Structure 1
Amino acid sequence: MSADEKTFPRDFTFGVATSAYQVEGGIENDWAEWERAGRLKEPHTRCGRAVDHWNRYEEDYGLAVDVGASAFRVSLEWARIEPERGRFDGAALEAYRERLLRMKARGLRPVVTLHHFTHPTWFHRETPWHTPASVDAFRAYVRACAPLLKGLEALLISLNEPMVVLLGGYLQGLLPPGFADGPKTMAALENMVRAHVAAREELQAVLGRVELGISQNMLCFTPDRWWHPLDHAAVRLGAHAYNHAFHEALVTGKLRVTMPGLASTRAEIPQARGSCEFIGVNYYSRAHLRFLPRYPFLAFQFRDRLGRGLTDIGWEDYPEGFGEILRETKRYGLPVWVTENGIDDRGGQRRPHFLHRHLEQVLAARAQGVDVRGYLYWSLLDNFEWLEGWGPRFGLYHVDFDTLERRPTPACAYFRAVAQGRRLIAPEALEAQPSAAR
């Protein structure tokens, strides 16, 4: 890369990401119920106090500022705000408002997610996603939240990784609510698109102009057997359904999903057309797909065919796929935000190189005409990692889960150097400087 190709523009945003349940602590919701039912990989694992961000938020804002971040992604916890259907907790709303104001005062642009995987305990019983009542429930929740966003100029995300929620919770039964039902999956998908539209209407009514999108987990898919035509077909269908169907619905108003033998849908949702201002990309890895002649018809695996070593959670380290995904988003003609990208690196030594290779892909995509506006690293802190519990460590800051002490990993110095210098540098160059251990 030339010197110009290694430079980020002054208005490019470097930030960090979190979600409420994973960091705040003290939340009673559907995930807390899932844990008590023993549904995690380690059945006795509990999120509990998480990493106590609810009480340590000022400290954590300071950590974000110290690594050069100018944006901080958080989520609002629906279960705090509406613990019982129709009863909104004014104290919780005021507390979130105060936290967001303090964030902005520290020079951090709020990136606010309205739904990040979790639901109030009543939701799946009274208004599950496969019923139309879910749209009304989400509308009422967003209507209650909209006033606390006034004056923040926040980047807004209605739904985080809706396809993960649907495939995990509705098709595979691995996440709440634990269904394994194709027709319900497709009904829930359509309702989540409609819920995004409803959220947009409520936000615009209070805020006027909004910058609203979704945050979509996007995998780079490749055929497990390069010579097998059905593996190639699985990649085409899987990439469209998983990576693009939801965003296409928000851009065109047409929802199209084809998963032969599992679930499919065709729906016209005119109100969804043009209902997002940006494309949110969460990227972590590449997956190899293999067609199977019987149910579930598809095998999904992470492989280390390039010999780089899988990450500690078992995913392939494949930055080239990040570039592919970013280039694919060009089809939408919208700005792109990397709303999550990170590595489970329990030793802490791989992360600077991971950041370098992935930020290199951001610059390459920008050079090819992709309007990438910002990069949010997942995550600021080590935290509770859903079904995996407390094993994975994605944080720029290492957290001692007993004492909750936050300590910088080597990636902090690297992230800071790039974010403040607006220039991509090799980790080796920073490691050679005595100050790099700051």
Structure 2
Amino acid sequence: MSTHEQTFPADFTFGVATSAYQVEGGIENDWAEWERAGKLKEPEARCGRAVDHWNRYEEDYRLARAVGATAFRISLEWARIEPERGRFDGAALEAYRERLLKMKAQGLRPVVTLHHFTHPTWFHRETPWHQPASVDAFRRYARECAALLEGLDALVISFNEPMVLLLGGYLQGAIPPGIIDGPTTMRALENLVRSHAAAREELLSRLGRVELGISQNTLAFAPDRWWHPLDRALVRLSAQAYNHAFHEALATGKLRVTMPGVASTRADIPGARDSVEFIGVNYYTRAHLRFVPRAPFIEFKYRDTQGRGLTDIGWEDWPEGFLQSLREVKRYGRPVWITENGIDDRAGTRRPHYLHTHLQQVLAARASGVDVRGYLYWSLLDNFEWLEGWGPRFGLYHVDFDTLERRVTPACDYFRAVAISRKLVPPGSPTSPDLLSKNGTGT
């Protein structure tokens, strides 16, 4: 890279990401029910108080500012806002509005996700995604959320990783609602696209303008056997269906998904065309795909092809795929926000290097003409990691899950060094640890 390519522009945003259920605590929703049913990898695991962000949010905003962040991604918890179908909780809405205003006052631009995997307990029973009533339910919820966003210049995400929700909840049965059925998956997918369009209408009606997008989990794919034509065909089909089908529906209004032997759909969605102002990319890893002669005809593998060592959650460390993913979304002609990127690093020693190699790819993408506007690290804090429970640690700040104390890690200094200097300094470069020691320990 040239010297120019080592520098981020002054208006590039560095921020951090969280989601409500994973950090807030005290939420009763479909995931809480799933936990009580013993369906996590550790059946006794419970999110419970999480890391108590609901009560410690001002402290956590200060921690974000201490590492140089100027944006903070949260999600609104639908189960707090509409605990019973049709009954909206005014106190919860007021509490979220207060949090967003204080976030803004701290110098953090709100990045607000309306739906981050979780649902009120009534949703799957009364208006599940595979039924048309889900669209009206999400529209009403979005209408209430719109009032929270007035005057905040927020970046808004309708859905976080919709394909993960569908694959996990409707094809594999691994997460709520626990369905395993291809055609039902396609109906749910169509209604998620319709719900995005409905939410957009409500936001525009209330706000006049909105920067709206989705956060799409993007995987780099490779054939498990480079020489095998069916493995290579799976890579092409998976990249299109998983990485691009949802984005293309919101660009063209046409939803096209082909999963041979499983399910497919072709639907034109009113209101979906040109319905995003930005493309949200969540990137973590690469998957190797192998054809197997039984439904769903595909196996995922994570392989350490470069000897870097798998991450602690078992994923390949493959920053090269980040550049590939960013270049591929250039086709949509919209600004790009990296809404998640991070590593499960339980010892806390690998994260600075991970940040360095992945931020290198961001600069390379910008140099090749991709309009990347910001980078939000997942996550500010160690938190509850869905089916994995309390094992993974993605946080810039280490959290003692017994005392809830937030502690600085080496990644805090490195993230701040880059965010403040705007330069891609190598790990171990001089930083300003005094500021972190004063404001960032969480003690």
TM-score relative to the length of structure 2:
0.97
> 2:369 aligns to what?
369
Residues 194, 270 of structure 2: 8 Å contact kept: no
Q: Distance in 2 between matches of 1:436 and 1:147?
A: 36
> 2:172 aligns to what?
172
Deviations 1:142-176 (A, max 9, x none): 11111111000000000000000000000000000
More displaced, 134-143 or 268-277? 268-277
Residues 410, 437 of structure 1: 8 Å contact kept: no
Q: Distance in 1 between matches of 2:436 and 2:65?
A: 17
* 2:67 maps to amino acid: V
Q: Distance in 1 between matches of 2:307 and 2:324?
A: 20
Q: Distance in 2 between matches of 1:430 and 1:66?
A: 16
Residues 251, 273 of structure 2: 8 Å contact kept: yes
> 1:110 aligns to what?
110
Two-structure CA RMSD over aligned residues (Å): 1.1
The CA deviation at 1:397 is 0.2
- Spell out the pairing of 1:271-350 with structure 2 (5 A cutoff): 271-350=271-350
> 1:71 aligns to what?
71
Deviations 1:337-379 (A, max 9, x none): 0000000000001000000000000000000000000000000
In structure 2, do the counterparts of structure 1 residues 430 and 259 end up closer, same or farther at CA, with 3 Å as the change threshold? farther
Give 3-state SS (helix, strand or coil) of 1:248's partner: helix
> 2:155 aligns to what?
155
Deviations 1:186-205 (A, max 9, x none): 00000000000000000000
Give 3-state SS (helix, strand or coil) of 1:139's partner: helix
The CA deviation at 1:429 is 2.8
Aligned residues: 437
Q: Distance in 1 between matches of 2:178 and 2:127?
A: 15
Say yes or no: does 1:45 pair with 2:22.
no
> 1:58 aligns to what?
58
The CA deviation at 1:2 is 1.7
More displaced, 287-296 or 414-423? 287-296
Q: Distance in 2 between matches of 1:385 and 1:434?
A: 29
Residues 413, 433 of structure 2: 8 Å contact kept: no
Residues 289, 299 of structure 1: 8 Å contact kept: yes
Q: Distance in 2 between matches of 1:385 and 1:368?
A: 34
Which segments of structure 1 move beyond 2 Å, counting only runs of 4 or more?
Answer: 428-431, 433-438
Deviations 1:73-117 (A, max 9, x none): 000000000000000000000000000000000000000000000
The CA deviation at 1:29 is 0.1
- Spell out the pairing of 1:171-190 with structure 2 (5 A cutoff): 171-190=171-190
Q: Distance in 1 between matches of 2:69 and 2:272?
A: 33
TM-score relative to the length of structure 1:
0.98
The CA deviation at 1:269 is 1.3
Residues 66, 436 of structure 2: 8 Å contact kept: no
Give 3-state SS (helix, strand or coil) of 2:265's partner: strand
Say yes or no: does 1:429 pair with 2:425.
no
> 2:31 aligns to what?
31
- Spell out the pairing of 1:392-431 with structure 2 (5 A cutoff): 392-430=392-430
Q: Distance in 2 between matches of 1:186 and 1:37?
A: 26
Q: Distance in 2 between matches of 1:261 and 1:38?
A: 31
Residues 430, 436 of structure 1: 8 Å contact kept: no
